[in-house]
Copies of this chain bind each other. A is one copy, B any other.
């Protein structure tokens, strides 16, 4: 999985505390990341309807849905695409007993077992939202959300 997933998750988490849009460059500075690369991830989140950007000198990115309506799976899929980690290439089709027209995606026991594991991973990611992460941070590191919010908003003071 590309590091863009980590950047995107942390961006969503920090945006969940903001009541003003945050420019990509300011978010990038917060994480000490190259702004063009972070911007690319933010654009992917925008295409998925997770964030929205407003133009102009006071513009930037904000969450486009409630934090409780954004699951970790939403973010992972926005960045990595919907393809499963294990891609069945249906190698049985090429075997001496393979049916060139057979559907080995559904019929193959290896593919089915790998899909079950993938489903378990997706189910776990779908069960956690950005609001859950924010709650974890607020409980575990009291005051840190306010600190981040103030820093990210400071540029516009």
Contact = CB atoms under 8 A, between A and B. Distances in A.
A110 interface: yes
B109 A140 contact: yes
Interface string A66-93: 0000001000000000000111110110
A72 B86 CA distance: 12
Chain copies in complex: 2
B133 A95 contact: no
Main secondary structure, interface of A, reads: helix
B1 A87 contact: yes
Contacts of A86: 1, 5-6
Contacts of A22: none
A72 B33 contact: no
A94 interface: yes
Contacts of A144: 97
A96 B151 contact: yes
A94 B34 CA distance: 12
A155 B10 CA distance: 56
Given A91-B33, A97-B147, A109 B136 contact: yes
12 contacts: A5-B114, A9-B110, A30-B95, A30-B96, A31-B91, A33-B94, A110-B133, A112-B136, A116-B124, A116-B128, A120-B120, A120-B121
